[in-house]
Amino acid sequence: MVSEASQDKPVRLKIPNYPLRNEKDLNILLNQIGSAKVVLLGEASHGTSEYYTWRAAISKRLIQEKGFDFIAVEGEWADSYRVNNFIKGPKKDSAAVVKLLEQYNRWPTWMWGNYEVASLVQWLNNYNQQKSAGEKAGFFGLDVYCLWESMTEMMPYLQKADAATLKAARQAHKCFQPYSADAQEYAIAVANAEANCRAETNRLLQAVRKMGDGQKNEAHFVAEQNALVAVNGERYYRTMASGQESWNIRDNHMAETLKRLLDFHGPDAKAIIWEHNTHVGDARYTDMAREGLINVGQLARKEYGAENVFIVGFGSYQGSVIAADRWGAPLEKMEVPPAPAGSWEGILHQLGPTNKIILSKAIRDEKNLKKPIGHRAIGVVYDPRREQYGNYVPSVMPKRYDAFLFIDQTHALHPLGTLVKGNEPPDLYPWGT
């Protein structure tokens, strides 16, 4: 999916752009978004402060000015639903916000357990105080990872279910019990033909759906979503070794969850999506397509029509980032080296070392951008020394995104726990509002 940055020579292109200095500069972007139903906001890493703060600024304006109903993130359903309930509840202080986000305890914890997200959550909580129940902005998780948590979360609701549904839930729990909520252990057992909980999770989902025939209340919606996480989570972990299949299972699940959320919120519902560029930037215009990979941005354009979907990519020239040197390792602040001269980020830097907004419609006739060009993608596991060999996704940029926010110099995200002083409530400045 990622390849060596093949273009290391300077490339000078005519790329119209707009300055990005403050929130007022987002006006051009908001105008282009127009009446879109789904706005997808990407990021070139999971550990860059500016990607979070600019996405928050855009999201606030979409909620306030265009009536968007919720933010859905590349995070676990169960943990994110607790955030949803929190922001729709009574007004809380920053200490309560931080305590809430510390519940994101699945590695990499910093993705949602950070001060930038804490600031947004507090803003949403304050914003919702003036809204009626049906007008409050929501916050949901699209991801598939929290299989065990989702099965646990649905049990209180299922206590009122019929005997068959309760039996299906208990059998699913029993099937996974030997693996102690360890996804890797389950995946190894499946690979060795020692385990397979597919039938149990499918029976559970069918039973929960049957239980909710004719219902459209939130409690049942959440129970069904937890059951769907169990089904697709089991499929994901069962196919982990294949790479391609597990990626597609995950992105199909996230797209399905988005559709369920939009349907639940009504025919006029609008959604804001926060995910990595690799999930939101249309995969058909990258080398991912050649490998048989799909993603959420591609599926959203297909489901809702390209005219109703607006995809915003993010990237930077150099800076610092929070990541780890291997899966499950402690987080580190790492330096991000300057992008190669012929990469997308290198080209934008050559236009001037400033932050800028690029609208895809303005660059579609640029012949040098009609072919794939290297576009940086940093994951939660990162080695800056080897970046040029595996962190650039060949992309047809004007088609992959509808707009692009370029931050020339970026800074590492601020994980929870880095700024707390004694027993004082955490100061969210400069991410506070």
Instruction: Note the pLDDT tens digit of each residue in 33-45.
Output: 999 999 999 999 9
Res 412 pLDDT > 50: yes
Torsion of CA 22, 126, 52, 30, to 10 degrees: -50
In DSSP notation, 281-306 reads S-GGGBTTGGGT---HHHHHHHHH-G
Residue 155 burial class via C-beta count within 10 angstroms: exposed 0-12, middle 13-18, buried 19 and up = middle
Please compute the mean of the pLDDT values over residues 46-50 and round it to a whole number.
Answer: 98
Contacts of 304 (CB under 8 A, 6+ apart): 37, 38
Residue 6 burial class via C-beta count within 10 angstroms: exposed 0-12, middle 13-18, buried 19 and up = middle
For residue 274, give the amino acid letter: W
> Which residue has better confidence, 214 or 140?
140
pTM, two decimals, is 0.93
Lowest mean pLDDT segment, chosen from 37-51, 212-226, 379-393 = 212-226
* Separation between Cα atoms, residue 343 and residue 6, nearest integer Å: 8
163-167, 237-241, 332-336: which is most confident? 332-336
- State residue 430's pLDDT score: 39
pLDDT band of 190, cuts 50, 70, 90: confident
* Separation between Cα atoms, residue 8 and residue 15, nearest integer Å: 19
What is the residue extent of each domain of the chain? 15-74+270-432, 144-269
Structure token pair of residue 266? 């009504």
**Residue 12 phi/psi, 5° resolution?**
-105, 120
* Separation between Cα atoms, residue 189 and residue 51, nearest integer Å: 38
pLDDT band of 307, cuts 50, 70, 90: very high
Given a contact cutoff of 8 angstroms between Cβ atoms, the answer to whether 257 and 138 are in contact is: no
- State residue 401's pLDDT score: 99
* Separation between Cα atoms, residue 380 and residue 43, nearest integer Å: 12
pLDDT band of 13, cuts 50, 70, 90: confident
Please compute the mean of the pLDDT values over residues 226-250 and round it to a whole number.
Answer: 89
**Alpha-carbon distance values, 371 to 15, 127, 262, 293, 402 (Å):** 15, 44, 34, 19, 16
In DSSP notation, 100-112 reads HHTT--SSSGGGT
Lowest mean pLDDT segment, chosen from 48-52, 108-112, 211-215, 403-407 = 211-215
* Separation between Cα atoms, residue 166 and residue 178, nearest integer Å: 20
Res 426 pLDDT > 50: no
Structure token pair of residue 195? 């385990």
> Which residue has better confidence, 179 or 280?
280
Kindly indicate whether the domain formed by 15-74+270-432 is annotated with CATH number 3.40.1660.10.
Answer: yes
Res 3 pLDDT > 70: no
**Sign of the alpha-carbon torsion through 111, 150, 125, 216:** positive
366-375, 394-403, 415-424: which is most confident? 394-403
* Separation between Cα atoms, residue 406 and residue 356, nearest integer Å: 5
Res 415 pLDDT > 60: yes
- State residue 2's pLDDT score: 52
- How high is the mean pLDDT of the chain? 91
- State residue 390's pLDDT score: 85
Res 240 pLDDT > 90: no
- State residue 195's pLDDT score: 73
pLDDT digits (tens, 9 = 90+) for 79-126: 999 999 999 999 999 999 999 999 888 889 999 999 999 999 999 999
Please compute the mean of the pLDDT values over residues 392-417 and round it to a whole number.
Answer: 97
Please compute the mean of the pLDDT values over residues 131-142 and round it to a whole number.
Answer: 97
* Separation between Cα atoms, residue 58 and residue 20, nearest integer Å: 12
Closest CA to 116 of 202, 199, 55: 55
Beta strands in 329-411 (DSSP E): 332-336, 356-359, 373-376, 392-395, 403-410
Res 63 pLDDT > 50: yes
Please compute the mean of the pLDDT values over residues 62-69 and round it to a whole number.
Answer: 98
Structure token pair of residue 241? 């070794």
The structure tokens 């080398």 sit at 287
- State residue 211's pLDDT score: 86
> What is the Cα 418 distance to its own chain's centre?
23
- State residue 432's pLDDT score: 34
- State residue 214's pLDDT score: 66
